[in-house]
């Protein structure tokens, strides 16, 4: 019998105990197990130093264990304890660039002092993706925050990922797109943008039902592709595009697909056909409004009994449950908060939802409750 005082023996005992909790048979050669990686998602790699690190491999390999609502607290905590940090998770985009799985949204955050404090808290918590847009009116304040705070954390420009978006009032040809892009660069005080998105499929000057929207949208995408081909921007994508808009987009003619489609995505409102299309075409879905209508003081989703019940079982917050629901379905997230505690909570998700819990949350989609602007009527 192995000496239980040795590190190898202790490691073996911990692994065997955890496998028993999960209902699996013991495994002798557990050092050969490989982690299960979600499609297009990469967990951080690390050297195996002992039981805790090895358990990450074992748990990911045996993640087909059925965890029902009747799961004991010990089994649930065993799973929760070994979830890799989401701050290090990335999605591989269709051009090979890496997108942090969790970023900080900045919609309606405009006051310079609030932005400075929020970015400070976010960098300290491990956020490296910051999402903004021309229409948010905060690019300048974010640029000031980056210049002041990156040195504080020994970070360089290339250590963070900046997303901004083309205003619906600036759709047009390549010259128009380039001018708008240069303005965002100036506001942010940077030499390049990591991800530049068409913010909305419709132009600000046209009614949503105007057929000219489609023509202008195609011209705008060609202008975005020109920026990308010239090496001005690392990646380009779209936001609020429906399945119809993606199919109509002049992707084949340009040879460049969007790397991201950023859309409203939460259990009350999600589109499985859109998700399937994006997965097939290697377009990463990125969710906004993950908490429902909190930007409009609507906390209905956060207070939903299903969400709250799952949160209680995992000793987590409802917000963390909603973020985990998206991440486990290969959807990136950009939760917004200016509260220091919530900023930290939103990037500290140390549990995995069970298949049963994901299905329970999916069933809330019957409510079809949308909180943000609706692109479905845009021609």
Could you report the per-residue pLDDT of 1-42, keeping only the tens digit for each?
Answer: 444 444 455 445 444 544 444 444 433 333 333 333 444 554
Q: What is the pLDDT of residue 61?
A: 31
Could you tell me which residue, 124 or 68, shows the higher pLDDT? 124
198 and 224 Cβ atoms separated by less than 8 Å: yes
Catalytic residues: 136
Listed in sequence order, the residues at least 6 apart from 27 whose beta carbon sits closer than 8 Å to its beta carbon are 15, 16, 19, 33, 58
Could you report the per-residue pLDDT of 349-370, keeping only the tens digit for each?
Answer: 999 999 999 999 999 999 889 9
Q: What is the pLDDT of residue 373?
A: 86
Could you report the per-residue pLDDT of 245-259, keeping only the tens digit for each?
Answer: 999 987 767 888 999
Listed in sequence order, the residues at least 6 apart from 254 whose beta carbon sits closer than 8 Å to its beta carbon are 221, 222, 225
From residue 39, alpha-carbon distances to 121, 129, 262, 328 in Å are 30, 20, 18, 10
Q: Which residues are paired to 269 by β-bridges? A: 266
Q: What is the pLDDT of residue 87?
A: 86
Could you report the per-residue pLDDT of 211-269, keeping only the tens digit for each?
Answer: 999 999 999 999 999 999 999 999 999 999 999 999 998 776 788 899 999 999 999 99
150 and 157 Cβ atoms separated by less than 8 Å: yes
Listed in sequence order, the residues at least 6 apart from 246 whose beta carbon sits closer than 8 Å to its beta carbon are 238, 258, 261, 274, 277, 278, 281, 283
Q: pTM for the complete prediction? A: 0.80
Residue (of 90, 75, 83, 77) closest to 39 by Cα position: 90
Provide the 10 A C-beta neighbour count for residue 7.
10
Q: Is 258 helix (H, G, I), strand (E, B) or coil?
A: coil
Q: Does domain 87-367 have CATH number 3.20.20.100?
A: yes
From residue 36, alpha-carbon distances to 14, 64, 279, 315 in Å are 20, 10, 18, 25
343 and 118 Cβ atoms separated by less than 8 Å: yes
Q: What is the pLDDT of residue 266?
A: 97
Q: Domain segments of the chain: what residues?
A: 9-71, 87-367
Exposure string for 195-234, b = 16+ CB within 10 A, e = fewer: bbbbbbbbbeebeeeeeebbebbbbbbbbbbbbbeeebbb
| Dist. CA 109–CA 242, nearest whole Å | 26
């Amino acid at each position: 019998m192995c000496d239980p005082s040795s590190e190898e023996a202790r490691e073996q005992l911990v692994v065997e105990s955890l496998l028993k909790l999960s209902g699996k048979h013991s495994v002798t050669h557990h050092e050969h197990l490989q982690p299960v990686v979600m499609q297009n998602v990469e967990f951080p790699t690390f050297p195996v130093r002992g039981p805790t690190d090895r358990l990450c491999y074992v748990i990911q390999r045996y993640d087909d264990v059925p965890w029902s609502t009747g799961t004991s607290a010990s089994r649930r905590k065993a799973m929760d304890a070994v979830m890799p940090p989401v701050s290090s998770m990335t999605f591989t985009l269709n051009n090979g660039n890496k997108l942090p799985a969790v970023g900080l949204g900045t919609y309606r955050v405009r006051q310079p002092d609030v932005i400075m404090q929020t970015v400070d808290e976010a960098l300290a918590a491990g956020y490296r993706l910051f999402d903004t847009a021309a229409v948010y009116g905060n690019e300048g304040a974010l640029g000031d925050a980056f210049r002041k705070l990156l040195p504080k954390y020994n970070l360089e420009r290339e250590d963070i990922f900046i997303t901004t978006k083309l205003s619906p009032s600036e759709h047009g040809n390549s010259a128009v797109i380039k001018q708008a892009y240069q303005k965002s660069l100036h506001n942010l005080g940077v030499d390049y943008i990591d991800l530049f998105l068409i913010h909305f499929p419709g132009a600000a000057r046209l009614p949503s039902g105007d057929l000219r929207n489609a023509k202008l949208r195609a011209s705008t995408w060609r202008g975005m592709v020109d920026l990308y081909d010239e090496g001005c921007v690392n990646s380009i994508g779209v936001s609020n595009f429906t399945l119809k808009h993606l199919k109509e987009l002049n992707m084949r003619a340009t040879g460049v697909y969007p790397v991201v489609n950023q859309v409203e995505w939460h259990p009350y409102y999600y589109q499985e056909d859109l998700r399937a299309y994006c997965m097939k075409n290697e377009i990463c879905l990125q969710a906004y409004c993950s908490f429902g209508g909190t930007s409009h003081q609507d906390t209905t989703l956060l207070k939903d009994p299903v969400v709250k019940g799952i949160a209680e079982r995992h000793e987590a917050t409802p917000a963390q449950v909603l973020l985990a629901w998206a991440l486990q379905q290969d959807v990136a997230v950009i939760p917004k908060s200016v509260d220091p505690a919530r900023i930290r909570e939103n990037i500290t998700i140390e549990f995995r939802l069970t298949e049963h819990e994901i299905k329970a949350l999916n069933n809330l989609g019957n409510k079809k409750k949308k909180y943000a602007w609706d692109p479905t009527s845009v021609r």
